[in-house]
Structure 1
C-alpha cells in the first residue's frame, strides 16, 4: 500500500509540473476570444468545429512529439544578435516566427487554401502570437533563448527561458481563465494602438523587453519572491497584449 501511495504522489507532482506549461497560451487565447468580432467567431467555429481558441492554443507545442511536424520546430522563435534588427539578422532557412506568421496569415486569407491547411495554420497562428510575446522567444542563438542560462527557481533547477515560460505563471497560482479575467481594463484607443503593425513590428518592439530579461538574472542565480515582485507584471502585460493582438489579427483575417 505504501508503494502505491508513493507512486500516486509522484505521478501527481509530475502532472502538475507539466500541467502549468500551457497556462500562458490559454490565457492569451481566452483574452482574444473576448475581443473577436462576430464574423471572426463564425469563421473560427466553421474551421475548428467543437474546438475553440483556448483548446488549440497549445497545438504548436503538442505536435513537437510528432516527427511529421519537425518542419515547424523553428517557427516558435527568432534569434538575433544584440543590437541587431530582424532585417539585419541572418535568417534561419527553416523559417522563424516572422516567416511562419506571414505564411499562416496568407494561407488563411487565400480562398484557394484547403480547409485542412487553414485549420492547421489557424491552430499554429494562435500559438505563435503567444510565443512572440514571451521575451526569450526573441533571443540569442548562443544561449538558445535563455535555455542555457541556468538558474534556480525557489531553490529548484531551472533556466531563464523556463522562468518566463512557466515558472512565474505557475508560482502565481491562477488558472488561465483567472489570469484572463483579471487583466486591467484598457480603452478602445489603447487596444487599437496595441493592434497596429504585424509580427515584424512586434518582434522589433520586443527587443527592449528581451534585453531587460537578459539583464535580470545571472548564471546560477537563485530566483524567487523578489524576482516575481520585479517582473511578473511585465509578464502579465505581455500576455494581455498578445491576447489583444491575436484578436486583432483574427478579426482582420476573417
Structure 2
C-alpha cells in the first residue's frame, strides 16, 4: 500500500470515529465499559510505562489523528459498536451467581459460541499483534484496530461489573440512586464513581487523577506491581487472572449491600473509590506489560 493509500485509510478511520461519536451522543444507548475517563486513565498509565520498542511500535500503529496519544483512542471500541455489531459480546463476561469465573464455562456469547467474551478477545488481539513484525502494509489497518481493541478490552476486564452476573447483566438491570440521580449499578462503576472523584478531589481534571494513581503505583502498591505484570507459563497476556479478580471485586464491593432502588452515597463512594483506583492502576500496568511483551 502506497503512502497516499495509507493517508486515505487513516482519514476514513478518523471520519468513522467522528460519525460514530455523533451517533453515540444522538441515540444515548447503554454504555458498557469504563466511561471515557476510565479508559483514558488506563491507557495513560500504560503509555507512561512502555519500553522504547513498544513506544515505537504503538506510535507506528496509532492513527495519525491520535497524535501519539493512546489515551485519546481508548474508547474507540465502544464507539464502533454500531459498525461492528459482532463486537458487543467481547466487552464483558457473564457468570452465574457463585462469585467465581471459569473460562470454559463463562467465556461465550448469548448464542453459546465459545471464546466470545472479553477474556477471549484479549487473547485474540494479543495474538494478532504478535504478528506485527512480519505484517505487510496491507495488514496495517487491521493491526491498528487490534491495538485499539486490546487497549480497550484490557480496561473493560478490570471494571468489576464486566465480570458480573448474567441474571442482572453485570448490574445493568439494578436500578439505584447515585446520591440524588437515578442510575444503574453498572453505570455507577463505569462512570459515576470516577466523575465524583474528579469533582471532589481533582478539580475535574482527569490528568490530576492519573497523577495520583501513578503516585500510588510507585509507593503504596510498589511491592505488588511486579506480580500484577507477571504472566504464568510465559504467556503474553493473562486475562483469566484479571477476570477472576474482577468477579471477586464485584461480589465483595460492587454488589455488596446493594438492592433495587438502593441510595448510594458517601459510605458507598468512599469505600469503593480505592477499589476503582486499584483496578484502573492494574489495568494500566498490565496493558503496558502486555504491549512490552508483544513488541519487546
Match of 2:15 in 1: none
Match of 1:71 in 2: 86
Match of 2:77 among 49, 53, 60: 60
The TM-score with structure 1 as length reference comes to 0.87
Match of 1:4 in 2: none
| Number of aligned residues | 237
Question: Distance in 1 between the 2:276 and 2:226 partners?
Answer: 20
Deviations 1:50-107 (A, max 9, x none): 342111111111112x2x3001111100011133432352522271101111110011
Deviations 1:124-176 (A, max 9, x none): 11111111111000011111100101100111110110111001111112432
Match of 1:33 among 34, 47, 65: 47
Q: Does 1:121 align with 2:162?
A: no
Q: Which runs of 5+ in 2 are unaligned?
A: 1-24, 232-237
**Residue 207 of structure 1, CA deviation:** 2.1
Question: Distance in 1 between the 2:265 and 2:51 partners?
Answer: 40
Contact 1:81/1:89 (<8 A) preserved:
no
Question: Distance in 2 between the 1:223 and 1:82 partners?
Answer: 22
Question: Distance in 1 between the 2:182 and 2:175 partners?
Answer: 7
**Residue 117 of structure 1, CA deviation:** 1.0
Q: Which runs of 5+ in 1 are unaligned?
A: 1-13
Q: How does 1:1-254 map to 2 (within 5 A)?
A: 21-48=35-62, 49=64, 50-64=67-81, 66=82, 68-83=83-98, 84-90=100-106, 91-92=108-109, 93=113, 95-110=116-131, 111-112=134-135, 114-172=139-197, 173=199, 174=202, 175-183=205-213, 184=216, 185-186=218-219, 189-197=223-231, 198-212=238-252, 213-254=254-295
Q: Any idea what SS the aligned residue of 2:176 has?
A: strand
RMSD, aligned α-carbons = 2.2
The TM-score with structure 2 as length reference comes to 0.75
- In the superposition, relative to structure 1, how do residues 226 and 85 fare at CA in structure 2: closer, same or farther (>3 Å)? closer
Question: Distance in 2 between the 1:199 and 1:225 partners?
Answer: 32
